[in-house]
Amino acid sequence: MNKANKIIYFIIVILFLQIQAVKCSPKVNAKTAILVDFDSDEILYELEPDMQIYPASMTKIMTSIIAFDLIKNNRLSLDDKIIISEKAWRMSQSGYSSMFIMINDEVTVEDLLRGIIVVSGNDACVALAEGIAGTEENFAEMMNEKAGEIGMTNSNFTNSSGINDPDNYSTVRDIAIMSKYLIKNYPALYELYAEKEFTWDKTGGDPITQGNRNGLLYKNIGADGIKTGYLAVEKYSLASTIKRETRRLISVGSGFNTKSSRTSESIKLLSWGFRNTDTFEISKKNETQFDIKTWLGKKNIVKGTTKEDFYITLSKKDSRKLKVILEYSGPVKAPIKKDQKIANLKVYKKDELTETIPIYASEDVKKINFFKSVFTSINYMIWGDV
């Protein structure tokens, strides 16, 4: 190959690699974005994921988490009624998104939650915050405490609604963490996020029906949440999720230029994730069982389990190269105690070890009596049969 041909060949290779890179990574028209697999926590795509943003109404995810947590622990009921203060009412008179509650209305927690989640009512946020914590400032302290508890390391909340405040900030990474926590810990209450509209029987007027601002809910693509946001300084934002069969992806983006683009760009990112990657369940905590041979035990097999759920996400092209091997020095000699580590599950991508998962005994296995152990040992020495 002469020098000119070598140069042409080199250029072709570079162009091919660039084309492949474009294919492998979508271009998302946003200021910051992230795409995460719900089960494996694998980050499939990121664009400045730790850039500080104003989360706007995505703040309301944490507001609902505080309420959901109290409901789950029987410290709050959906039927509890909250008296609406002047502060909460004034939110609906200031041009903000509202469910249009009135002063001294007695509104159930369930209706306020729908006002927050479905129609993004800032008045409902203030009312719920005051009903739970006495003041919105006290409620913000609860929000920050919860944020720290679940691993949101770059967020600070100063109000329950996300309206203009430079000290109310977060990142798309933190909002993805918050979104997963919401879905995982409150599956029944999370169903409110899939509702497309809410009708509020307004005091002193006709009922008001408002639609959910999350455009993904109106597409037949498996979306069931989560929350939109808008601030003039931040433009449009969206925390969204799609579940297809058993797999769920979460996307968070901020700095979209228009309402329509936050929908279309989020769909593009989520669809890309499903198209180009697969997630495999390796083990479910205390459910998936592995047969481990025993030696001198009253049982020949002890069931092994993991103490955590383990999933792995791979690109489609690497899916065929996944290999899972159960390794242990065995048979494992009795007596065996429940929760004793007895094996390792090793996960390989190609020939590279990516995960070592400890396996623990799910039960006690007692040792056989002395005479039977002698017979078994002699049998093994003669026949090699354990």
By annotation, the residues acting in catalysis are: 57, 60, 120
Strands 290-295 vs 235-244: parallel, antiparallel or unpaired: unpaired
> How many angstroms separate the CA atoms of 317 and 92, rounded?
52
Beta bridge partners of 248: 243
Residues composing the chain: 386
| CB atoms near residue 195 (< 10 Å) | 16
Helix H or strand E encompassing 32 = strand 32-37
> How many angstroms separate the CA atoms of 128 and 122, rounded?
10
Residue 358, classed as helix, strand or coil, is strand
Q: Which of 77, 39, 30, 380 is nearest to 239 (CA)?
A: 30
> How many angstroms separate the CA atoms of 3 and 25, rounded?
33
Q: Tokens 């009596």: give the residue.
A: 369
Beta bridge partners of 256: 236
230-236 long-range contacts, Cβ below 8 Å, gap at least 24? Answer: 230/56, 230/57, 230/259, 231/54, 231/56, 231/162, 231/164, 233/54, 233/164, 234/53, 234/54, 234/56, 235/31, 236/261, 236/262
Strands 43-47 vs 197-200: parallel, antiparallel or unpaired: unpaired
> How many angstroms separate the CA atoms of 311 and 349, rounded?
13
Instruction: Give 281's contacts (C-beta < 8 A, 6+ positions apart).
Output: 39, 288, 309, 310, 311
Beta bridge partners of 45: 35
Q: Which of 32, 68, 62, 64 is nearest to 48 (CA)?
A: 32
* Radius of gyration of the chain, Cα coordinates, nearest whole angstrom: 27
Written as six digits, the tokens of 374 are: 């002698």
> How many angstroms separate the CA atoms of 318 and 298, rounded?
42
> How many angstroms separate the CA atoms of 311 and 239, rounded?
23
